[in-house]
Amino acid sequence: MSRALKEKIIKNVLFLFALVSIIVLALIIIFLFMEGVPIFGVVSLKGFLFGTEWYPTYDPPEFGIWPLIVGSIVVTFFSALIAVPLGVLSAIYIAELAPPLVKEIFKPVIELLAGLPSVVLGFFGMAILAPWLQQTFDLPTGLNILNASLILALMAIPTISSIAEDALYSVPQEFKEASYALGATPFETVTKVVVPAALSGISTAVILGMARAIGETMVVLMVAGGAAAIPESIFDSVRPMPASIAAEMGEAPFRSDHYHALFATGIVLFFMTLGFNLFADYISHKFKEVGSATL
């Protein structure tokens, strides 16, 4: 077999594999739309997105997912508030400032956190965090926004930290040397040279961490409390979209309105995560500083 032919075969086989994953993805999306769109015969798009009543099993049923959207956004927002600073700062510390010994301990521990199954974290939230919150703040339930945000943050931190760390490592050594040679301290070098040079990667890390949090199902199912109402404080229970889908899919009759409504919720979630990813992509291009010192 000639070399050119071999190359051609390899190339086509790889193309086929790539094609398969794209086709599968496309099929999933088509299916999602096919099963979700019929709900709009029952309720308008506006009524679906912004309706504040989610009573899919009542008679007559109400299909307003606004409380679920708010639930998702709120827990994601508060988990970001916790996870972004912790994740980014731990990446900076581990990649740039930690003495070797500390680094050798911290890095695997954070990676271990990434490997924890979400159900285990959810269990921790239910069994330990919830009673503690309930007692400390004298609440009717410890399964609420705060609990879910804390657990989601725990999940997002390793994602953010490890991607941000890679971004920091990829900053060329030459930049750091230049900075030190001009009389900068390690801290000045990190804040004024390394972090700005890694900004696109760090932003990507943050957004991907958040995308993970917004799509995460098990944790919010277990610890967010499940109330489909618009929350008034961080101690209220919520029912984020993934939790709603997971909890109700089993009991919704096949091809019923409820069933279609859950798929339509899936479409909304899909667009939200897609939005996050596109934004991450945009940021990473926008902030990309012009290449390294090439000749």
Partner 1 sequence: MIRLDDIIIQAKNVNFYYGSFKALIDVTIDFEKNKVTALIGPSGCGKSTLLRLLNRMNDLIDGTRVEGEVIFEGANIYASNVDPVDVRRRIGMVFQKPNPFPKSIFNNITYGPKLSGISRKTDLEALVERSLIQASLWNEVKDILSQSAMMLSGGQQQRLCIARALAMKPDVLLMDEPTSALDPISTAKIEELIEELKKNYTIIIVTHNMQQAARVSDYTGFFYLGKLIEYNQTDRLFTTPDVKQTEDYITGRFG
- Is residue 106 within 8 A of residue 94, CB to CB? The reply is yes
Measuring CA to CA, how many Å separate 76 from each of 99, 171, 189, 216, 224?
33, 30, 32, 10, 12
Q: Which of 104, 111, 174, 281 binds partner 1 (CB under 8 A)?
A: 174
Instruction: Please tell me the chain's helix, strand, coil percentages from 3-state DSSP, rounded to the nearest 5.
Output: 75, 0, 25
Q: Which of residues 102-131 bind partner 1 (CB under 8 A)?
A: none
Closest distance to partner 1 from the beta carbon of 87 (Å):
24
Both tokens of 117, joined, read 């199954």
> Nearest distance from residue 99's CB to partner 1, in Å?
10
Residue from 106, 180, 270, 279 that binds partner 1 (CB under 8 A)?
180
Do you find a cis peptide bond into 140, omega within 30 degrees of 0?
A: no
Nearer to partner 1, 117 or 183 (CB): 183
Q: How far is the CB of 278 from partner 1 (least distance, A)?
A: 25
Bridge partner list, 63: 54
Binders in 235-294 for partner 1, by CB under 8 A: 289-294
Number of residues that bind partner 1 (CB under 8 A): 25
Q: Tell me which of 147, 149, 179, 203 binds partner 1, using CB under 8 A.
A: 179
Task: Decide: is 172 part of the binding site for partner 1 (CB under 8 A).
Answer: yes
Whole-number Cα distances in Å, 80 to 75, 77, 153, 206, 237: 8, 5, 7, 8, 18
Is residue 101 a contact residue for partner 1 (CB under 8 A)? no
**185 is a site residue for partner 1 (CB under 8 A):** yes
Residue 177 is a binding residue for partner 1 (CB under 8 A): yes
Q: Please state the closest distance from residue 198 (CB atom) to partner 1, in A.
A: 10
Give 191 or 277: the residue with its C-beta nearer to partner 1. Answer: 191
Q: Which is nearer to partner 1, 7 or 188 (CB)?
A: 188
Q: How far apart are CA 73 and CA 210, in angstroms?
A: 10
b/e sequence 213-243, b meaning 16+ C-beta within 10 Å: bbbbbbbbbbbbbbbbeebeebbbbbbbbbb
Beta strands per DSSP E along the chain:
54-55, 62-63
The single residue listed with the structure tokens 């070399």 is: 3
Q: Which residues lie below 8 Å from residue 269, measured CB to CB, with a gap of 6+?
A: 72, 214, 215, 241, 242, 245
By CB under 8 A, the residues from 192 to 231 that bind partner 1 are 192-193, 196-197
Least CB distance from residue 192 to partner 1, whole Å? 7
Segment interacting with partner 1, rule: CB under 8 A, options 17-25, 31-39, 79-87, 171-179: 171-179
Task: Return the number of the residue (20 or 97) whose C-beta is nearest partner 1.
Answer: 97
| Using rule CB under 8 A, residue 234 touches partner 1 | no
Residue 135 or residue 185: which is nearer to partner 1 going by CB? 185
Nearest one of 95, 90, 201 to 154, comparing CA atoms: 90
User: Residue numbers of the site for partner 1 (CB under 8 A)?
Assistant: 100, 172, 174-175, 177-185, 188, 192-193, 196-197, 289-295
